[in-house]
Amino acid sequence: MRLIGNAAAGLSLAALAALLWLWQPAFVWRMPGADRIAVAVAACLLWLSLCVWARRGRGRTPPESASGTVAVVYASQTGSAERLANQTVSSLEAGGIGARLIHLRGLDSAALPRSATEAVLFVVSTTGEGEPPDDARAFVEALRRRPAAVRDLRYGLLSLGDRSYAQYCGFGREFESLLRTGGATPLFETVEVDNGDATAIERWHDALAVLGTEALPPLVPEPFLRMRLEARRLLNPGSPGGPVFHLSLAPEMGTVPDWQAGDIAEIRLPGSAGLIREYSLASVPADARLELLVRQQRHADGYGVGSAWLTLDCPLGGPVDVRVRRNSAFHAPEGSRPMLLIGNGTGIAGLRAHLKARAAAKLGGAWLIFGERQSRHDFHFREEIEDWQRTGVIERVDLAFSRDTAQCIYVQQRIVESGAALDDFVHRGAAIYVCGSLEGMAPGVDAALRQVLGSPLLESLAADGRYRRDVY
Ligand SMILES: Cc1cc2nc3c(=O)[nH]c(=O)nc-3n(C[C@H](O)[C@H](O)[C@H](O)COP(=O)(O)O)c2cc1C
C-alpha cells in the first residue's frame, strides 16, 4: 500500500512540474531562464511539503490492527465499569489496536459501528435490583423498541455484578439478550465479574485476543496510595442514629491524587484478603485531603468490618491504603448550570464536594434538600451550609428531620411540597443530583420527582446527564 502511495505521489509531482513548465504564465515567461527554474523548483517544494503535511495529518488517527478498530462502550453507576473500559482501551492501544472510549449515555444505537472491521466491546454494570445503570436507561429503552438497530454488530460483553444480590448481573444478562434478539453477533462468551474478581477480568483480557493480537498487555489496576488518618471526628453525638464520623486522610508524602467532586475513595482494609470499601469523597483537591463520612455499622453479631476499622481500630496517624475511582456519572454538569442537590445521611458527603467545588468556582444557583433524623444532632456541616447560604452559593435549603416531628418528614415530601418551584428550577436548566441511601430514599425521591416533573421529563433529564445518582 505504502509503495503504491509513494509512486502515486511521485507521478503527480512529475505531472505538476511538467504542467508548470508548459503553462508558464506571462509574468513568468518574461523572467530570465534561471529565475523560471527557481519558480518551478519553489512550486515543487511547496507541493512536496503539502503532501508531507497531509500524510502527517493522516498519521494522527489511531493505528488499525489486522482486524480493524474497536469501540469500547461503557455504562456505569459508580465508576467501576468506566475504569475497566478505560483500562481496556489502554491495553488495546498498547497492543497496537485502535480503540476509542464511548459513554453509553447519549449514544444512539444507529451510531454504533457496524462495519466488518470495527467491533464493539460493551462494559456494563448492574445496579438497583437487577437494573441498568442510569446512563444506560435511554439506550436500552430505544433498543427494546427497535432491537434490529444492532443487527450485524460484532460485540464482546463484560458484565459487572455481585453475587450477593438476588439478580446477579441482571442487567448484563438482559442487555445480552437484547443484543442477540437484535441479531448482533458475539465475538466470545460474555464475561461476568463477581465483585471485581481478578480471575474473571483476566478471562476478559484473554478473550480480547480474538481482536487480532495475542500479545495484549494486561489490564493495569490502579495502585493504592499510602495515606494516613489525620483526623476523625464524631459528627452526631447523642443521635438516635448510628454514629457518623468525618475522616480526613492526608498524603504520607508528596501530593494527593487528582480527583473531581463525584469521585469515590476505595479503601483497602488491612488483613482482610484485600477487602475494599468505598466511600463518596466529601472534599475537593484544593483541600489537599481526602475526606469521607463513615457511618459505624452495628449488627446483631458485631460491627461492620470496614466501618469498624475506620472508625475504631485504625489509630490516628495510622496508614490507610486508598485510591480514587473516577465516577464521571456523578461529576458536575458543564458550566454554571444550577444544581438541585438531594440527599440523606452520609449522602451529604458527595453533595458537599459539589458545593465546595461550586463555592471555589464562585457559582451560585444551588438548591439543597437534605434529610436526617434530628436537627439537634444530625445536621452535618451545618455551619458550612449556612455560610454557603450567606455567600450565595446556595440559594435555597430544605431540611427534613424525620424525628423532629411526629409525622416523620423525609426529603421526598419536601420535593412534593415544593413541586412548582422545583419544576421551575428544572426549567431554568438545573441538573438533579441524588446522594445517599438506596433503600427508602432513592426510590422515594425518584417517585416524588416523577410526580412533580412527570416521567418523560425525568427520563429525558437522565438521558441528558441532568439526573444523576450516587446511591448505595
Ligand atoms: C446500589 C447497588 C445495587 C446493586 N445491585 C446489583 C444487582 O442487582 N445485581 C448485581 O449483580 N450486582 C449489583 N450491584 C453490584 C454492582 O454491579 C458492582 O458493584 C459493580 O462492580 C458496580 O459497577 P459500577 O461502579 O460500574 O456501577 C449493586 C451495587 C450497588 C452499589
At the second CATH level, the architecture of 225-326 is Beta Barrel (2.40)
Residue 40 is predicted with a pLDDT of 60
Residue 398 is predicted with a pLDDT of 98
Q: Which of 177, 151, 161, 166 shows the shortest CA–CA distance to 123? A: 161
Q: Which of 252, 95, 121 shows the shortest CA–CA distance to 179? A: 121
Give dist(CA 292, CA 107) in Å, integer.
33
User: Per residue in 237-247, pLDDT tens?
Assistant: 999 999 999 99
Name the helix (H) or strand (E) containing 87: helix 80-94
DSSP designation for 150: G
Residue 272 is predicted with a pLDDT of 76
Find the 36 Cα to ligand 1 centroid distance in Å: 74
Q: Is 168 in the pocket of ligand 1 (CB under 6 A)?
A: yes
Find the 8 Cα to ligand 1 centroid distance in Å: 56
Topology annotation, domain 69-211: Rossmann fold (3.40.50)
Topology annotation, domain 333-471: Rossmann fold (3.40.50)
Q: Has the ipTM of the complex gone over 0.90? A: yes
List the grid coordinates of 381: 456541616
CB hemisphere CA count around 435 (13 angstroms): 31
Pick from 80, 101, 127 the residue to mutate for probing ligand 1's pocket: most ligand atoms within 8 Å of its CB.
127
Residue 116 is predicted with a pLDDT of 60
Q: Is 24 in the pocket of ligand 1 (CB under 6 A)?
A: no
Q: Where do the domains of the chain lie?
A: 2-59, 69-211, 225-326, 333-471
Pick from 126, 192, 201, 204 the residue to mutate for probing ligand 1's pocket: most ligand atoms within 8 Å of its CB.
126
Give dist(CA 193, CA 187) in Å, integer.
18
Q: Is 127 in the pocket of ligand 1 (CB under 6 A)?
A: yes
Task: Read off φ and ψ for residue 437, nearest 5 degrees.
Answer: -75, 140
Q: Provide CB contacts within 8 A for 238, sequence distance 6+.
A: 376, 377
Give dist(CA 469, CA 328) in Å, integer.
11
Q: Is 438 in the pocket of ligand 1 (CB under 6 A)?
A: yes
Does the fold of domain 333-471 match that of domain 225-326? no
Residue 37 is predicted with a pLDDT of 65
Phi/psi-derived region of residue 283, left when phi > 0, alpha when psi is between -120 and 50, beta in every other case: beta
Residue 4 is predicted with a pLDDT of 35
Q: Is 80 in the pocket of ligand 1 (CB under 6 A)?
A: yes
Which atom of ligand 1 approaches the CA of 169 most closely? 11
Q: Which of 308, 294, 305, 304 shows the shortest CA–CA distance to 265? A: 294
Query: What's the burial of 53, exposed, middle or buried (CB within 10 Å: 0-12/13-18/19+)?
Result: exposed
Q: Which of 246, 419, 256, 239 shows the shortest CA–CA distance to 348? A: 246
Find the 122 Cα to ligand 1 centroid distance in Å: 16
User: Per residue in 352-366, pLDDT tens?
Assistant: 999 999 999 999 999
User: Per residue in 112-134, pLDDT tens?
Assistant: 766 666 899 999 999 999 999 99
For the chain, residues with pLDDT lower than 50 are 1-13, 27, 51-67
Q: Is 77 in the pocket of ligand 1 (CB under 6 A)?
A: yes
Given a contact cutoff of 8 angstroms between Cβ atoms, the answer to whether 173 and 126 are in contact is no
Given a contact cutoff of 8 angstroms between Cβ atoms, the answer to whether 200 and 214 are in contact is no
Q: Name residue 456's beta-bridge partners.
A: none
Sign of CA dihedral 414, 417, 420, 423: positive
Residue 56 is predicted with a pLDDT of 37
Q: Is 76 in the pocket of ligand 1 (CB under 6 A)?
A: yes
pTM (2 decimals)? Answer: 0.84
425 three-class SS: helix
Give dist(CA 155, CA 92) in Å, integer.
15
Q: Name residue 272's beta-bridge partners.
A: none
Which atom of ligand 1 approaches the CA of 74 most closely? 26
